[in-house]
């Protein structure tokens, strides 16, 4: 299925969708596995508690956010692909981050958790039919297609990896 049209997702996700240039979602998801592995391996453990500015998340909080968002977005995709008619709630990333105590988390385990989630997302989307990908639902009060959620998932992590490279590892 081709890259989603702007009408298939809320405009605030446009930044993420634009970070995915390819029209082959499954190919990009598969390639994202290597991309994620390489980027995660480039993050030294010494930066785990580092925040580049006052009030910004630490690397560990940013990784936890990516883990949480990967779960939320993939659940939305699965639910809508299966014909869910109920509106799904939004999530406040700052509230989630504030409640996620990452102080005792191991960075290697967090990296592996994110990789495991992405592998699962890849296989889930690989199993979707064209009809599944074209289905839509409402999350956080906004309509979105399953196909668009695939691009949002990829672009969301790419966005945060760019932030890590520019502001945390720079």
Q: Which residues of the chain have pLDDT under 50?
A: none
pLDDT at 20: 98
Both tokens assigned to 48? 């785990």
- In the numeric block, the tokens 């809320």 are attached to 10
Mean pLDDT over the full length of the chain: 96
| Domain definitions of the chain by residue range | 25-168
- Residue 20 sits at φ, ψ, to 5 deg, of -115, 110
**CATH for 25-168?**
1.20.120.450
Q: Using CA atoms, how far apart are residues 96 and 18, in angstroms rounded to an integer?
A: 26
The 10 Å Cβ neighbour count of residue 83 is 9
Alpha helices in the chain (DSSP H): 14-18, 25-41, 59-81, 93-99, 107-127, 130-134, 146-163
Query: How many alpha carbons lie under 13 Å from residue 102 in its C-beta half-sphere?
Result: 25
Report which of 165, 170, 151, 164 is spatially closest to residue 56, judged by C-alpha positions.
164
* Its pTM surpasses 0.85: yes
pLDDT at 161: 97
pLDDT at 1: 79
pLDDT at 41: 96
CB 107 within 8 A of CB 63: yes
pLDDT tens sequence across 77-127 = 999 999 999 999 999 999 999 999 999 999 999 999 999 999 999 999 999
């Amino acid at each position: 299925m081709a890259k989603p049209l702007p009408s298939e997702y809320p405009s605030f996700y446009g930044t993420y969708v634009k970070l995915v240039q390819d029209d082959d979602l499954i190919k990009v998801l598969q390639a994202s596995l290597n991309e994620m592995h390489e980027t995660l391996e480039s993050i030294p453990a010494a930066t785990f508690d580092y925040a580049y500015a006052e009030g910004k998340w630490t690397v560990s909080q940013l990784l936890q956010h990516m883990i949480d968002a990967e779960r939320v977005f993939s659940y939305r995709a699965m639910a809508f692909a299966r014909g869910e008619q109920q509106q799904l709630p939004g999530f406040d990333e700052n509230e989630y981050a504030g409640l996620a105590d990452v102080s005792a988390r191991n960075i290697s385990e967090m990296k592996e958790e994110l990789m495991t989630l992405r592998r699962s997302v890849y296989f889930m989307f690989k199993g979707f039919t064209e009809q599944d990908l074209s289905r839509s639902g409402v999350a956080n009060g906004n309509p979105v297609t399953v196909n668009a959620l695939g691009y949002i998932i990829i672009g969301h992590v790419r966005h945060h990896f760019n932030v890590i490279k520019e502001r945390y590892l720079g």
